[in-house]
């Protein structure tokens, strides 16, 4: 049995660290709907942790609990071993957590560059007062923010479209811009809600490569929801499987693939 602080080496030789986020007996209800039923699992430092399951299983709800957006009625969320109090979005960002959404949430009329810059809003320390009366500090910060943003734009190979309004981009590139905006916050934990939904094979391959590169080069811990089982099996170190709000599997991709409950849940269920 692995301790919270232990690290381990995966089948493909990747070293995964201690537990950074622990969900303990989480239950989340919306009125009469129980979206999450008594689920426990953890996320370890440096891993790519997939959350999978049929439509309506409660995956996005779970990501919203991890991000602090939803506070569960029952259970505990431990972040670096401490119980996490309800937080506002800027507090979540300051804790090093960033996310993308199932439905793209970008400013369509703004350029790619400006959208990615919004990812840094929570990293800015100079308040409005300082921006107005103490220009030096605000300007210095602006330069530093730009440097980070330009680095991310290069990293995700979107230099050629930096001035383009997001509304003019094809879907696959919008998803990449959303990833850029999340990365601009320099998160330690990155949450991706279906980063490849609606993409063609080539776009999925690109996105998979970027996710692996982010994990590898920045050491970012990643939790992602994805329907494409091929992608999940290729990318993730460990997988949590949800069905009707319950956890029905948890383990390495191979373990999950051979789990009878998981196989049953997936039979006859359509996925988009």
Residues forming contacts to Mg ion in the complex (CB under 5 A) are: 60, 102
- Told to check if 269 binds ligand ATP by CB under 6 A, we report no
Q: Rounded to the nearest 5°, which phi and psi values hold at 186? A: 50, 55
Binding mask 10-49 for ligand ATP (x = CB under 6 A): --------------------x--x-x--------------
Q: Which of residues 97-116 bind ligand ATP (CB under 6 A)?
A: 102
Determine the Cα–Cα distance for residues 236 and 253; give it in Å rounded to an integer.
7
Binding mask 166-195 for ligand ATP (x = CB under 6 A): ------------------------------
- Told to check if 72 binds ligand ATP by CB under 6 A, we report no
Question: Which is nearer to Mg ion, 60 or 113 (by Cβ)?
Answer: 60
In the list 46, 53, 72, 119, the residue contacting ligand ATP (rule: CB under 6 A) is 53
- Told to check if 57 binds ligand ATP by CB under 6 A, we report yes
Q: How far is the CB of 69 from ligand ATP (least distance, A)?
A: 10
Looking at 54-62, 85-93, 103-111, 114-122, which segment touches ligand ATP (CB under 6 A)?
54-62
Question: Residue holding tokens 């390495």?
Answer: 252
- Told to check if 60 binds ligand ATP by CB under 6 A, we report yes
Question: Which is nearer to ligand ATP, 30 or 129 (by Cβ)?
Answer: 30
Burial-class residue 53 by CB neighbours within 10 Å (0-12, 13-18, 19+).
buried
In the list 56, 75, 172, 251, the residue contacting ligand ATP (rule: CB under 6 A) is 56
In the list 61, 208, 221, 236, the residue contacting ligand ATP (rule: CB under 6 A) is 61
Question: Residue holding tokens 């290729």?
Answer: 234
Sites of contact with ligand ATP (CB under 6 A):
30, 33, 35, 53, 55-61, 102
């Amino acid at each position: 049995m692995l301790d919270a602080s232990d690290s381990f080496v995966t089948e493909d030789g990747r070293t995964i660290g201690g537990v950074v986020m622990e969900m303990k007996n989480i239950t989340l209800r919306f009125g009469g709907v129980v979206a999450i039923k008594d689920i426990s699992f953890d996320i370890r430092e440096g891993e790519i942790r997939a959350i999978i399951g049929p439509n309506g299983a409660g995956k996005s709800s779970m990501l919203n609990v991890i991000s602090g957006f939803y506070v569960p009625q029952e259970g505990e969320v431990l972040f670096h071993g401490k119980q996490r109090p309800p937080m506002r979005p800027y507090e979540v960002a300051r804790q090093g957590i960033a996310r993308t959404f199932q439905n793209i949430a970008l400013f369509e009329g703004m350029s790619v560059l400006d959208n990615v810059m919004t990812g840094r809003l929570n990293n800015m320390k100079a308040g409005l007062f300082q921006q107005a009366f103490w220009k030096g500090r605000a300007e210095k910060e602006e330069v530093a923010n730009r440097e980070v943003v330009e680095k991310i734009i290069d990293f995700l190979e979107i230099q050629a479209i930096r001035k383009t309004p997001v509304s003019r981009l094809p879907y696959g590139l919008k998803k990449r811009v959303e990833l850029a905006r999340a990365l601009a916050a320099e998160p330690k934990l990155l949450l991706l809600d279906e980063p490849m939904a609606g993409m063609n094979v080539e776009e999925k391959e690109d996105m998979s490569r970027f996710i692996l590169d982010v994990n590898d080069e920045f050491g970012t811990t990643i939790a992602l929801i994805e329907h494409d089982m091929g992608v999940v099996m290729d990318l993730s170190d460990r997988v949590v499987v949800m069905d009707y709000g319950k956890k029905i599997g948890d383990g390495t991709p191979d373990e999950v693939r051979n789990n009878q409950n998981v196989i049953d849940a997936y039979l006859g269920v359509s996925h988009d």
